[in-house]
Structure 1
Amino acid sequence: MQILGFTSADFQFRCFILGIAIVSCFTQVSSAANETDKSALLAFKAGITEDPLGVLSSWNNTIDLCQWYGVTCSRRHRNRVTALNLYSLKLSGPISPHIGNLSFLRELRLYNNSFGHEIPPQIGQLRRLRILILGNNSLTGEIPRNTSRCLNLHHLVLAGNQLGGEVPPEIGSLVKLRYLHLRRNNLTGGVPSSIGNLSSLEQLYLSNNNLGGSLPWVLGRLTNLTSLAFGENTLSARWINPYVDS
């Protein structure tokens, strides 16, 4: 039998060749994506100035990426990094902006180290990120406003750093957020009323900063709160209601 001028055998052979080409294409795309994750982590390692415990010695080309210390990979997407857990390891240096290339990353835990410099704004590229814990380091600068693009975040812990500037009002876009820990920094300005949009919030810690002004009345909407800390600021105990105080 002929199909559009081809014999059945010719047609089957052409379909077979096309299938091989499609598989090859997907393999190349997957390989390129895997190389992106590997390059991002190696760039992160290159920025580390102190690793006294030698935990990053496994990060080399002789060991599979998913066997590197602190690295967790996806079970469904081979060699795509989903978690990076490097806490309490005495690491020093900046957080590489290449971290933003780990597009499958869901958890980033770097707390209890000596990371310095600013939080790279490329963090905002991590759309799958659920947990961001950078507490107890020496991070400076401001909280990146585009962190609000990480719409799946439910843990945002930046406590115990040297962060300044205002609490970005864009944080109010993180409607899945459950834990917001910003205590023990150098934050200024007031408490943004947009925090009242965080209906899932369970813990809100803003103590030990330089925050001033009055508390926005919309914080009363946070019915899931179990812990709240505003101490060691210059905040007024009076609640601002724009319908009354305007």
Structure 2
Amino acid sequence: MTQIFSGPAAFAAGFRLIILPGMKRFVFVPLVSNVVILTGFIWLTINLISGWLDGFIGSLPDWLSFLSWLIWPLALISMLGFVLYGFNATASLIAAPFNGLLAEKVESHLRGGQVSFPDETISEMALRSLQRELQKQWFFLKRVLLLLLISFIPVVNLISPFLWFLFSIWMLSLQYLDYPMDNHQIGFHDMQKRLKSNWWHTVSFGLTHYLLMFVPFINLILMPVAVAGATWLWVDQVSTSADDT
């Protein structure tokens, strides 16, 4: 499979996997949390963007008014990146234990049951998943704060929308591809190295997820689809590059 198309292939597999018998009960909580939180963030985004941009553009001196056509899309991309981080962090913290369990069930199905996971209870797995999620969100937050700082530095802030875009792609890949790797207790830093060594898969997955977030209705079910798709990508491509089973 061409690596650049691995992201779309993973999401196509994710859509198929979540409707299989025995999977639906692990999809329910991530699905509901995604719908509720995404609806709230869409409302927040519309209000923030319209109010903040109108005020910012209105504050420009007359001699800079011609820049409004450029500022609007750049500021929109930056704002979307920030809101995307907020949505991702909130939804993922709530659904982390369920996403970990869904990834485990999907991988077991894909490998025909021929896979071993750490011997732990459901409560131990839930605690481990939550701790890993907090580690990921702290990793993301430090970079979000840096991007916010860049966004307020004159001239330099012209590149901030592109940095937000790249960060969003990387964040989405790391967020979801981490679930199957965490189930095998692969360390956080080792997980990042694996994603970097498989960077075409990483970029393709993150970019596909980013684009699908703007597709109505599909974005409502995107979280469990992304978990299942990331697990498929782990089984089909990423783990085989390191001989992990």
TM-score (ref. length: structure 1): 0.28
TM-score (ref. length: structure 2): 0.28
Larger fraction in strand = 1
Task: Considering Cα pairs closer than 8 Å and 6+ residues apart, tell me whether 1 or 2 has the greater RCO.
Answer: 2
Larger Rg: 1
